[in-house]
Structure 1
């Protein structure tokens, strides 16, 4: 099913749904581009030509009402595609001017004013660009949109007159408006069915001064540069991490839940991001991360997903590459197989075509959280930054690399593990060392049941010639340390366990362990797991006092 964008745009016959972007100052257009020299000696400006033509009076009314009579009276050159009165009635022109003034009074800057962007700038481009019998190209309009142009038409609208050269550009006339084709970001703000997603994404929008695109005009008395034209550009931090859905130069698909689905997901995900009361801006973090979790895995670059592969798997912009996944032994998060099949992420979605791709509207949001943010957390034992405490063991821990000719190659995470070698580190020469190592566990969700595993590597993974009778199991216990919502330290002593020293042994040490405070995205994790030897001096003939640890796994599950 396809959605008719022009129908959604609504007011008058043009989309005037104001995109509520943050405000920033920017000067009017200045005459800082080189004027064309191919105007055939015409002495009238574009504005003089348009305003003196009776059949363009309604178009002229809109231009003057929006302040563009000044633009078209200067030395900056433009190409204008002016609507005749047959294509723009006096009533429609009045509606456009009223809408422009209404947004202006609300503080909307001109380049964000929908009348300017969707109508005025949609009917002109920079520089003098006449057509000829050889013309079969595209033209970048003043709002950044790309329009196909031939000798006789632009965007399939036939020219009534063409190539009328004037002192500051060239004038064409057309009998029907040029349709405005929103990009994905703009479309989110136009379609009221999905504006919950837009409102959240747009909350990250800022306008930033662009020095390279601005025109300096001198130095003031304080030694600061004064700009004749200060250009500000839209910046949104989510664009860099998810995808630049505001760009006309890239092509994306975006899967967006309807507002009721958005509300359902916010309610479902909210308790996963319940931070301790001592965390700075904990409420803001909870609100933001809940909604970022919904958006995760919903944007797809068509450069990465060509037609041939898209039907088999949809790789989102946040997915790790195959090389990274293989090297770090990661699961294929943010990748969705058979996306168009029944139950797939695109199943039952409504398609809306945009200037830079497609929005897929999801009345039933089929993105499984287990494939995006609801992830298994794995800590590699050799990761020094996660080694929190070492007791009665030689330092640093010995790291072993599994060679490609070893039978355990590719059976151990990242093909590396550590040996925790018991060592008397006290001043008492008679002390029997009981080795322990403690790891900090990052990015855990709150109010989620985790099954916890310690994965042990066999010594054969680094030395295949150790006699089997010399390989002894470990007898160990784990302790969990974590904090509650008030940042009070809690702990839990877990059951005694042993492992099989002849294989890569994944030992479950806890099940359905829930943590009251989330640590997702925090620099300092609030959960730690200590692995402690439970071998006495009299038991050394049956159990090893040394550990060989591959990794620690916290696997989430629903109740």
Structure 2
């Protein structure tokens, strides 16, 4: 019994010693944490001898006052060794220095433990950096998650230089080939924008406001508006820029598909240039070491990327630019099928909304629900619906199809016409002499209307669905689910 009591007393004493030791260690930990949490970010950075150069830059730029404020920040602080190669011109220029220091500071707190997927952080200078695990851009976080009372310090082994965004590189970098650069810079135009306009009166006839000249428009680039805004720092883009020889080669490839009515060489070159350039950018980063050798443009065009054709890589603040001596896009990939949803028309020859129906139907062939447009008992001779299609190429044959469900006319077929440019044109080869195609009852599949080749490029093509040359209800309906124009190569 005495032995058991002695053993029990020994265990109690041992356990108590462990608790006291653990408490002492926890108190030591708390002392460290408490000291860190009593210091603001700048005091903590200044107290780290390995960050003394960065502390000097913070003071010189005025960011010491920012980091001493009550706001919360994460500071990616480069070591003295990382700053050894910093350009003296940056230190001497207050604007450049402010941008450089601000490129290492972001609002809120970001810990490495919370960066298991890539975070895109907005820095105080307006640029963005990518953080993933213990890395920020190309720098490695060598001392992680160091607390302060108003944020966290991440010590990094490389500085984060301030880079130009993609558009700034196009404008200012002398290594960008001239032909593509000049074309992209030629795409500026003024657009009406009353947001900040100064109103100076009202048009007494129309009742519309009159704005002070020069205040009611903004200058914008067509590439920003229609493709990607390469100035946007919050996103990442990959831009392929062709050498002058490669640009000329692509341009000549697509000129036959961009022929103008007057055979104007400048207009043809302009249309072909747009056809080429609009597919040379993608959203996101293309890694030249990736196994994929094809990317999809915004317009779903397959763009081959021959890694051997990359002659220069330029890193930007919002992506990357590859200068290429070849990008061989195939016409069959660029010139794609055109689908027109018939219910999404632009206008009609006569207002017949009271006779227009938008119908939901189940297609037993595809097993899918579709919506079509049906204009019935409208009483108008040659009534027509207008659509507009952008960028329709010349010199390529298009086959035309529609799905037109006649399930409402008592089993009686009627005729309607698909026409380009004018409502009564006989556009397609398989059409009758009058240009019409029969719409038979209960046909759920595509019907081939014929084929045509446009002699000239159409920046905007008017397409018409035209009813019969009759006022009779059973003779002149219009009905259509969709129209499809399929290029032939």
When normalised by structure 1's length, the TM-score is 0.46
1:512 matches 2:453: yes
Please say if residues 465 and 478 of structure 2, whose CA atoms lie closer than 8 Å, have aligned partners that are also in contact. Answer: no
Q: Distance in 2 between matches of 1:149 and 1:384?
A: 51
Aligned 8 A contact 1:300 1:314 in 2: no
1:442–1:519 CA contact under 8 A, matched in 2: yes
Structure 2 CA distance, aligned partners of 1:556 and 1:398? Answer: 28
Q: What do you get for the CA RMSD once the two structures are aligned?
A: 6.5
What secondary structure sits across from 1:365 in the alignment? coil
**Secondary structure of the residue that 1:97 maps to in structure 2?**
helix
CA–CA separation in structure 2 for the residues paired with 1:511 and 1:384: 22
Q: Secondary structure at the match of 1:442?
A: strand
1:364 aligns with 2:329: no
User: In 2 relative to 1, CA 403–188 (structure 1 residues): closer, same or farther, beyond 3 Å?
Assistant: same
Please state if 1:442 is matched with 2:388: yes
Distance (whole Å) between structure 2 residues aligned to residue 169 and residue 395 of structure 1: 65
Q: Find the aligned partners of 1:358 and 1:262 in 2 and give their Cα distance.
A: 19
**Residues 400 and 448 of structure 2 are in contact (CA less than 8 Å); yes or no, is this contact kept in structure 1?**
yes
C-alpha distance 200-369 of structure 1, shift in aligned 2 (>3 A): farther
Change (3 A) 1:97 1:359: same
Residue 396 of structure 1 deviates from its aligned partner by 1.7
The aligned residue for residue 242 of structure 2 is: 258
Per-residue CA shift, 1:352-390, capped at 9, x if unaligned?
Answer: 88898776665433455665676525362x556443248
Q: Which position in structure 2 is the counterpart of 1:388? A: 349
Aligned 8 A contact 2:73 2:151 in 1: yes
The aligned residue for residue 466 of structure 2 is 531
Distance 1:149 1:376 in 2: 45
Question: Is the Cα contact below 8 Å between 1:456 and 1:505 reproduced in 2?
Answer: yes
Task: Judge conservation of contact 2:403–2:482 (CA < 8 Å) in 1.
Answer: no
SS of match in other structure, 2:422: strand
Q: 2 CA distance for matches of 1:377 and 1:532? A: 20
Q: Which runs of 5+ in 1 are unaligned?
A: 1-35, 105-112, 205-235, 277-282, 319-332, 337-343, 426-434, 483-490, 521-526, 538-543
Residues 289-300 of structure 1: pairs in structure 2 closer than 5 A: 291=274, 294-296=277-279, 298-299=281-282
Report whether the alignment pairs 1:378 with 2:332: no
Q: Deviations over 1:442-498 (max 9, x none)?
A: 134377357585747474x557x84xxxx567497968439xxxxxxxx96765345
Could you tell me how far apart the structure 2 residues matched to 1:550 and 1:472 are? 14
Aligned in 2, Cα 1:71/1:199: closer, same or farther, shift over 3 Å?
farther
Partner of 1:418: 374
Q: 1:474·1:545 contact (CA, 8 Å) conserved in 2?
A: yes
CA separation in 1, counterparts of 2:227 and 2:418? 41
Name the TM-score, length of structure 2 as normaliser. Answer: 0.51
Q: List gaps (5 residues or longer) in structure 2.
A: 1-32, 190-221, 428-432
